[in-house]
Structure 1
Amino acid sequence: MSTPRIAPGSLRDVGPFTWALARVFGRRSGTEPPAVFLVLGRHRRLFRGWLHFAGRMMPGGRLPRRDSEIVILRVAHLTGSEYEATQHRGLGRRAGLSDIEIDRVADGLDADGWSDRERLLLRVTDELYGTSDLSDATWADLRAELDEEACLELLLLVGHYQMLATTLRALRVPPDRLRR
């Protein structure tokens, strides 16, 4: 990856709230402070709004964390987001995904071993990524599996991580390094 287009901000650039939050999240994930926080945090008002929005879906959403992580890892794969793939491999493990399952996300819904629900989540993610829409059949299957609020959350989760992957790629943000 080439040189980042916007460097992670300093304490002065992002303010004490974001600076402290990045350090806490880095410690929890075993990495340096997340660059996503320190880059997006350079726009303080937008960062706080984004953080609130993102936190309502993950980790504070209605979907089980395991489901959310399958979706996020699939979006990371489809978009080629090295940052999100690296970040969410660890988060996926914490949510109960095995390394085999995490690797299988790249193979998609036709890979052996997925439950019907997991195949549906992958199908929804693939359709939204490919067409920005869902077929009537996929929507019917989704509504049979999830309530209305969870459906809304899933659609927003896919769109949010596509947006984030695009932003991180355009800014050339490299994955966070593991702490020593």
Structure 2
Amino acid sequence: MNIELAYNNYRNELIKYSERIVYHREVAEDICQESYIVLLFEAQKQHIKSPRSYLFKVARNFAYDYLRHKKIVENYSQLFDTSVFELPSAEQLATNDQYADIIRQVIEELPERRRMAFILHKINGFSYAEIAQTLAISESGVEKHLMKANAYCRQRLNERLA
């Protein structure tokens, strides 16, 4: 069967098929045209036994490529939503500064070794082993200091922020 004749015979069916996948008429028409172009190029290289099957296979691949691309674009547009990057207001900054001051004050209330263990772990990201070596205490001692520091800070922050 002639390639042009195959395209003309199956064009409407191919568009409907593509539209059922992508849910967009204009995109389905573009997919149909792209499929025809691929069929033309491939027909020059090799004999295609069933142009209809080939057209539908190519159209299906284009449709799925379109959907994958659309999903990627949607994901990236959500990632870079400008509302996420809005600067905080002066009021929010003042409130954040107040919270930071309260947290600093509560941490300062901790006994020295407990405060050091807490700061090394929470702020500097030290492991228990690194803190133990720095403070010359056992890892279980570090664990006890951190448990007590966390409990104390939680209690004091609840009191101060309530």
Fold similarity call, TM over 0.5: no
TM-score (normalised: structure 2): 0.27
Q: Could you say which structure has the greater relative contact order, defined with CA pairs below 8 angstroms and 6 or more residues apart?
A: 1
TM (norm. structure 1) is 0.24
Q: Which has the larger radius of gyration?
A: 2
Of Structure 1 and Structure 2, the greater helix share is in 2
